[in-house]
Copies of this chain bind each other. A is one copy, B any other.
Amino acid sequence: MNIILLDSNNTLADGFYGLTPRQQTHISNVIKAKQGDILRVGILNGKMGEGVYEPPSEDQAGYIHSLSLSMLPPEPLPMVLVMALPRPNMLKRTLQNITAMGVKHLYLIHSAKVEKSYWQSPVLATESIQQCLLEGLEQAKDTVMPNWSLIPRFRPFVEDQLPDLLRDKVGLLAHPYLAKSCPVDIQEPCVLALGPEGGWNEFEVSKWLEAGMESVHLGERILKVETVVPVLLSRLYPA
């Protein structure tokens, strides 16, 4: 947690913000802050800066006051990520990491090679996903919560929603066995579609290509999802 993110849930009174149990634990046990210490804080979807810490007492929980917020959050990545739903034990880390890297628009989509059982995972509950995204923001020092949607049915998305997304963006289909090498530093917005571990099936590839996506690969080496995502994002937008 590299920044304390505050929102309306934290507000005690004008200029005074209470702390969630997670935040209090981090401040007490990791930062080990004392009364009057300056902490790095941010307002969710707002600016970042500093605030003054008041530790818990017998009568009162800990809180932050005297905020000074002058920094804008870091630039987002100008892209939409459409990602086949990862396995549940990868999903949390994946959501945190893509958020930390600056993805603001995310669709988690079904694919033939995604086990149907993954869609039943409790990690997919709204509060659970929001928590993962929040942790990504806290890691990276960002405030802007990504938008996200669950897309349990592949075909309607690719036929009905994707054309609108592609109107003003280049479409890139990460697929190891076709076409050209993934471009470096594209300097324009994109829709990036990332398949499951087994890859998109033939039907899915044909639907993506039909909609106007270009197939790109990352070379001969087969990388795990946890490595592929940072490699792809940093290759497309290194700056």
Which residues of A come within 8 Å of B, CB atoms?
2, 74, 93, 97, 100-102, 139-142, 181, 184-185, 219-224, 226-227, 230-231, 233-235, 238-239
Chain B residue at minimal CB-CB distance from A226: B226
Give the complex CA separation of A223 and B101 in angstroms. 7
Q: Are A140 and B223 in contact (CB under 8 A)?
A: yes
State the Cβ distance, A86 to closest chain B Cβ, in Å.
Answer: 15
Q: Which residues of B contact A223 (CB under 8 A)?
A: 97, 100-101, 139-140, 230
State the Cβ distance, A140 to closest chain B Cβ, in Å.
Answer: 4
Q: Which residues of B contact A74 (CB under 8 A)?
A: 219-221
Chain B residue at minimal CB-CB distance from A185: B184
Q: Which residues of B contact A221 (CB under 8 A)?
A: 74, 100-102, 140-142
Give the complex CA separation of A2 and B224 in angstroms. 11
24 A-B interface contacts by CB (under 8 A): A74-B219, A97-B223, A97-B226, A97-B227, A100-B221, A100-B224, A101-B223, A102-B221, A139-B224, A140-B222, A141-B221, A141-B222, A142-B221, A181-B239, A184-B185, A184-B238, A223-B230, A227-B230, A230-B231, A231-B231, A231-B234, A234-B234, A235-B235, A235-B238
Q: Which residues of B contact A219 (CB under 8 A)?
A: 74, 239
